[in-house]
Amino acid sequence: MRIKEVIVVEGKDDTSKIKQAVDADTIETNGSAINEYIIQQIKHAQEKRGVIIFTDPDFPGERIRHIVSQAVPGCKHAFLTKQEAKAKRDKGIGIEHASTAVIQEALSQVYEIAGAYEPEITREEILAYGLMGGSEAKERRRKLGVRLRIGYANAKQLEKRLTSFQITKQAFEEAMQQILEEEES
């Protein structure tokens, strides 16, 4: 599988793992200390080929994703769940621990953040499905992030991600129905 866009990752181990899974070029941020030189490389890649941000599903990875997407508008996003990125023997979480099949799956389902986009899913619907303010809300948001491949988000971030990744009401409702059915059984 050849990826046209340049993939932004955190480090060398991520690059090695991605190259095992797909034919792609990467830019390494070298962790969350992203300097202006790296940002300029990412901007250039975005202009020439497009960029996919593919960082670890943890706080530093989300911080890097935020920094890059703020500095370089129009990037696409790929996500892994914490379970998919978990090391077998130690407590590490990262792309370098994911299987090649999981990486291929994540890169086949990238999201592009929309500019001005009218949300299809209202706050009332998010509340009605118990994704905010209830005892099960955090776990439901985690499950929804897995099903939609948008990563875990707190309630405020969830609203933004559903809108910015243009998740349709149908996809949202289907995912929530599956989650609710699983909870009942």
pLDDT recorded at residue 3: 95
pLDDT at 165: 83
Q: Cβ distance 123 to 133 under 8 Å?
A: no
Q: pLDDT tens track of the chain, all 185 residues?
A: 899 999 999 999 999 999 999 999 999 999 878 899 999 999 999 999 999 999 999 889 989 998 998 899 889 999 998 888 887 776 788 999 999 999 999 999 898 876 556 778 989 999 999 999 888 999 999 999 989 988 888 988 898 889 888 888 999 999 999 999 999 88
| CA angle centred on 104, ends 180 and 110, rounded to 5° | 65
**Burial of 129: CB neighbours in 10 Å, binned 0-12, 13-18, 19+:** buried
The domains located in the chain, with CATH, are 6-112 (3.40.50.140), 123-184 (no CATH)
pLDDT score for 100? 95
Name the pTM for this structure: 0.75
- Picking from 156, 174, 6, 153, the residue whose alpha carbon sits closest to that of residue 76 is 6
Alpha-carbon distance of 121 to 159, in angstroms, equals 8
Classify residue 94 by burial, with Cβ atoms within 10 Å: 0-12, 13-18, 19+: buried
Q: What is the greatest pairwise CA distance in the chain?
A: 52
Give CA–CA dist 24/122, Å, rounded. 37
pLDDT at 56: 93
User: Going by DSSP bridges, is the β-strand pair 111-112/76-77 parallel, antiparallel, or unpaired?
Assistant: antiparallel
